[in-house]
Structure 1
Amino acid sequence: MVGTERTGERAGDPPELVIDLGTVRDDPVEVSPRRPFTWWRLRPVAFGLAAVLLLTIGGSGLPPEPILSQIASLPRPSTPQSAAYPDRGVLLTDDLLFVATAQQRNVVWRVSAYELDRGRRMWTYDLPVWPDTKLELQHRAGLLLVSGPRPDRSGMRTVALDDRTGRERWSLPSDVQSLGGDGTALAIDLLFSTEPAQANAPGGATSYGSPWGKFYDGPPLGRVVTGIELSTGQVRWRSEVLSTAVVGVTVLFDDGTLARMPDRDYDLAVLTADGAAELRDPRTGAVRHRFPVVDPGTLQLSGDLLLVRHNALEVTAYSTETYRQVWSRPVRDDAFVGFCSGELICESSPQGAWTIDRASGKRLWPIPREHAITDAGGHLIEFVPQGSMRPLRTVDPLTGAPRLHLMNWKQANVMTSGRVLFANPETHSGPTWLGVLRTGWVAPVELGTVPVGVSDCQLNATVIACTTTDDTLRIWRYRTPVQAEDE
């Protein structure tokens, strides 16, 4: 920076300073052209705006699916049969509902099949029966088995119907039980003397009732077991006259599958006429093993244990897998030791009741007097008698200690699948709160309310069917509001 004096100015004027800032080049500045707006550039912005919009409107595009929604309401007027045997005339499967109602002055059972999606009736089938007798429905391998007394009360019979069309596939003069998962069915029929009891028998005479409604002067002569091909009704084999025959069925898991034992689905235990306790193959009738018991009286079978009461004062447990004795213990002549719910073993006597350890036969813990214990899908539920059996709590199977209190529920319908439907009606006619408990869950899940009183309910994984106080059979679809750990 340099100061210079400029000439040619007027005298006396102060000199003028000029500051030299150097030279600056006037180069043009390059500016990049603006890129056009394309979808790829706008996509993040669009997604962000869409997310904000969804959060703003709260996802109001589609309403959430209701937890309970009624599918159908079917008329089911009360009859002597439905009142006496409410659990015999309704059967719910994974996708069908079968209903039996009395017709024509109770001499005909009308069996109807309904689809669950809309409650539409698919077919009906009329079965003549003796008045005021029970009917049993079973479903297996695409067949509906309808069992009940013959119209002349000469014995039992079973009719097999195609579950989709109602067409009769076969009929047998036996009480057929669809027990196995391999297509084998069994019939265990009582054999009486040919002469029924006389109507004018002297007072005090003893008579013996039969499942088909007739009475006889003497006890049954025994039982005959028949092995049947389920799909065709063909008889595979028939036993001699036996003193006793019992079947141990495997547990039906919550997903509807059978819990299979190592090489068989179920066992058949019999007492022969000469007093031998045997385990037989239900597929062929062949003897698997004869147990070394003396004077056997009664047999019980569940899971992998066979209980034999012999000498009237002793109970022995045998393994159905190894055929070895597991334990043996004395029992009073006025006491009972045996299976009380599923594979749960109990002892009861005038002195009290206890649960029994399956491995040792020893008492585990006392059951409160007049209370009942039920095994339901991995839970032991304790009930108290209050008009009907009311659930009290779940208990620890080893100690009996309370786990979960259930006094908020007034009713509990225990399914063979292990599911439990809890109900809490405000009044006899409703509305009714419903809840469901399944295998692996630690507590019931509340479903909400239905506007009626309910009883004799059945449920599968997604549907509930109940008889209601207004003489209807209502069907609801349900979902659990909270997903459980096992789903």
Structure 2
Amino acid sequence: MSERMIDLGEVRHDPGEPDPLPRPPRAVGRPLRCALVLLAALVTLTAGAPADRREVVVLPAPLGAQAMVVEDLFLVIDPAGPQGRQGLLRAYRLPGGEREWQMPLPVQGRYWGMSAHDDLLLVTGYQVFADDGPGPVTIALDRATGGRRWQQQGSALPLPDGSLLLETGDDERGRLLRVVDACCGTVRWQLDLPPGQLDYRPDEASGADRFVYSRPDGRVEVRDLATGAVRASADLWGPADAGQIIAQVIGDLVLTVDRTTATVTAYDLDGFGRRWQIRVDELLYVSNCGPVLCLQGRGAGVVAVDPASGRRLWADTRWGGVWPSGDRLVASVVDSHGAGSDTEQIAVLDPRTGRVLGWWGRWQLALPGTLGDGFVGVRPYPGGGLLVAELHDTDGTVRRLDVLRDAAGECQLGGALLICRRMDGTYGLWPLRR
């Protein structure tokens, strides 16, 4: 059951930083008695004013538990016991924290992923003891009751038509792909792929619709995830380059990254017509940065290119991680982790020019529960607890919201709630003051 308590929150300026407005000059020569009268009045007003109180829901969570916000549920997986006791999944309804159900997980293993899919809750983990050997497993539960619908080997990826792709294996051993009906796990089609690389074209709204499979000898295929059928294929490199070139898919492009020559070559997704080629020192991979492509290597920095032409738009050695947010980029400074914390220096960029639109400063981002939750940052507060702020990606501004004196970290967003670990190891559900 959830526990409710009263938390005394604070919203005030962060000590150690300059005041937002200059203080007026201090008057000279005022009698001491005036100062004492003023002090007494302030004490009286402070004592008579009600404290800023709000109700906080406290949820239990043992050491080693995994917790995650999935839409309107807060899910906690208790770890399996040392004698082989099954892990326990507990679901709490947001925003009130009422316990909806709890269910022993039928497979012993280490669980890391939970997601909603229509009326299902998908739980993904890694089982060590299985007839077919160790590997990922997906368990489909009824969201309303926690009852088990089905379980199968593989990690799950949603597809646009509502079905699920289950993948097992890796680059060296090859892979087995199976597309199943979400309702009951019935297999629609399956495909055994020999050793090679696999990359999916993601879709934030509906999962993925195609994938690119590349063999070590340079044969690259684009396949339809609805049927598994080959849509296009080509030989893009030779056996001598095996292990040095990877293939990625971003938008309508197949991109080959040659780590020997540090070049990226772009091809049409549907016909492998060559679009452009660019060279970047110490190149490792390409990432989707919204309206641009971000090329990153072993060293620090990002090179942004135009996906239509391959033209280099800008380069900056300051950035380590970069990811898109609407028509902006959010970037973290290389090696900017705060001492003893997970905070980073974060900025907001213009994707086409690389210009810094605003500095958020040093924060740890709370994990969003759903798309559209926005950005909320937390960082340690002097004297204990966490400072909470709303981070705006439109202009890079920061609006401070709260100080949670009993919060320790591991924060996630759940609609109008901020959910964080407390000092005693439990989780607290604090109303988010936006």
Q: Give 1:321-332 correspondences, 5 Å limit.
A: 324-330=273-279
> Is the CA contact 1:68–1:479 (under 8 Å) kept in the aligned structure 2?
no
1:424 matched residue in structure 2: 379
- Report deviation, 1:69: 5.2
Structural mapping, 1:34-73, within 5 Å:
70-73=55-58
- The answer as to 2:310 corresponding to 1:358 is no
Bigger CA radius of gyration: 1
What's the Cα RMSD here?
A: 3.2
CA deviations over 1:258-299 (Å, ceiling 9, x no partner): 2x7xxx953211124764212111111111222452337312
Name the TM-score, length of structure 1 as normaliser.
0.66
| Counterpart among 102, 105, 110 of residue 127 in structure 1 | 105
Per-residue deviation, 1:137: 1.4
What residue in structure 1 maps to residue 232 of structure 2? 289
1:399 pairs with 2:347: no
The correspondence for 1:189, drawn from 168, 190, 212, is: 168
Q: C-alpha distance in 1, partners of 2:143/2:265?
A: 43
Could you tell me how far apart the structure 2 residues matched to 1:344 and 1:428 are? 43
Do 1:382 and 1:395's aligned partners in 2 also have CA atoms closer than 8 Å?
Answer: yes
Alpha-carbon distance change, 318 to 374 in structure 1, aligned in 2, over 3 angstroms? same
Match for residue 147 of structure 1 among 120, 124, 131: 124
| Post-superposition offset of 1:119 | 0.6
Partners of 1:450 and 1:475 in 2: CA distance? 11
Listed one character per residue, the Cα deviations across residues 172-210 of structure 1 (whole Å, up to 9, x for unaligned) are 122222x2242121122116xxxxxxxxxxxxxxxxxxx
Q: Distance in 2 between matches of 1:105 and 1:447?
A: 42
Aligned to 1:411: 364
Q: Displacement, 1:459?
A: 1.5
Aligned with residue 60 of structure 2, among 51, 75, 88: 75
Q: In the alignment, what sits opposite 1:345?
A: 294
Q: Distance in 1 between matches of 2:422 and 2:228?
A: 44
Residues in 2 aligned to 1:346 and 1:428: alpha-carbon distance in whole angstroms: 41
User: Shift of residue 224 of structure 1?
Assistant: 2.1
- Contact 2:57–2:96 (CA under 8 A) maintained in structure 1: yes
1:245 corresponds to which residue? 198
Q: Does the CA-based 8 Å contact 1:316-1:329 persist in structure 2?
A: yes
Corresponding position of 2:344: 390
SS for the counterpart of 2:357 is strand
1:326/1:467 Cα in 2 relative to 1: closer, same or farther (>3 Å)? farther
**Which residue of 1 is the match for residue 88 of structure 2?**
110
Unaligned runs of 5+ in 2: 1-51
Q: Distance in 2 between matches of 1:301 and 1:310?
A: 15
CA distance in 1, matches of 2:172, 2:72: 40
Conserved? CA contact 2:166–2:178, under 8 Å: yes
Q: How does 1:199-348 map to 2 (within 5 A)?
A: 220-242=172-194, 243-251=196-204, 258=205, 266-272=209-215, 275-291=218-234, 293-295=236-238, 297-309=245-257, 312-313=260-261, 314-320=263-269, 324-330=273-279, 334-339=282-287, 344-348=293-297
Q: Which moved more, 1:220-229 or 1:278-287?
A: 220-229
User: 1:113·1:163 contact (CA, 8 Å) conserved in 2?
Assistant: no
How far apart are the structure 1 equivalents of 2:315 and 2:73? 42
Q: C-alpha separation between the residues in 2 aligned to 1:477 and 1:361?
A: 46
CA-to-aligned-CA distance 1:88-141 (integer Å, 9 cap, x gap): x3232332111212142384321111111321111112225556x343212211
- 1:403 is paired with a residue whose SS is strand
Structure 2: distance between partners of 1:428 and 1:102: 32
Cα distance change on mapping 1:121 and 1:350 into 2, 3 Å:
closer
Would the aligned equivalents of 2:163 and 2:181 in 1 still touch at CA under 8 Å?
yes
Between Structure 1 and Structure 2, the one with more strand by share is: 2
- Kept in 2, the 8 Å contact 1:185–1:230? The answer is yes
Change (3 A) 1:378 1:118: same
The one-letter code sitting in structure 2 at the alignment partner of 1:300 is: Q
8 Å contact kept, 1:393–1:402: yes
How far residue 348 of structure 1 moved from its aligned partner, in angstroms, is 1.9
Structure 1 runs not aligned, ≥5 long: 1-66, 83-88, 192-218, 252-257, 481-487
The letter for the 2-side match of 1:141 is D
Superposed displacement of residue 471, structure 1: 0.5
Residue 411 of structure 2 is aligned to residue 457 of structure 1: yes
- Alpha-carbon distance, 1:151 to partner: 4.6
Q: CA deviation at 1:442?
A: 5.8
Equivalence for 1:23: none
TM norm structure 2? 0.73
The one-letter amino acid of 1:149's match is Y
